[in-house]
Amino acid sequence: MVEIKVTHHRDVFKLFHHRVCGSTDPEVKAGKPSPDIFLIAASRFLDKPDPSNCLVFEDAPNGVQAALSAGMQVVMVPDELVTEEMRKDATQVLKSLDDFRPEDFGLPPFPTIG
In the chain, what are the domain boundaries?
2-105
3-state secondary structure of 56: strand
- Tens digits of residue pLDDT in 24-75: 778 888 989 999 999 999 999 999 999 999 999 999 999 999 999 999 999 9
Q: Which of 40, 50, 85 is nearest to 64 (CA)?
A: 85
- Number of Cβ within 10 Å of residue 76's Cβ equals 23
Q: Where are the beta strands (DSSP E) in the chain?
A: 55-58, 73-76, 92-93
Question: How far apart are alpha carbons 94 and 33 in whole angstroms?
Answer: 20
- CATH code for residues 2-105: 3.40.50.1000
| pTM for this entry | 0.84
- 8 or 77: which carries more pLDDT confidence? 77
- Tens digits of residue pLDDT in 101-114: 999 999 999 888 76
Question: How far apart are alpha carbons 67 and 77 in whole angstroms?
Answer: 14
Instruction: Point out which residues pair with 75 in neighbouring strands.
Output: 57, 92
The predicted pLDDT at position 3 comes to 65
Q: Residue 50 corresponds to which amino acid?
A: D
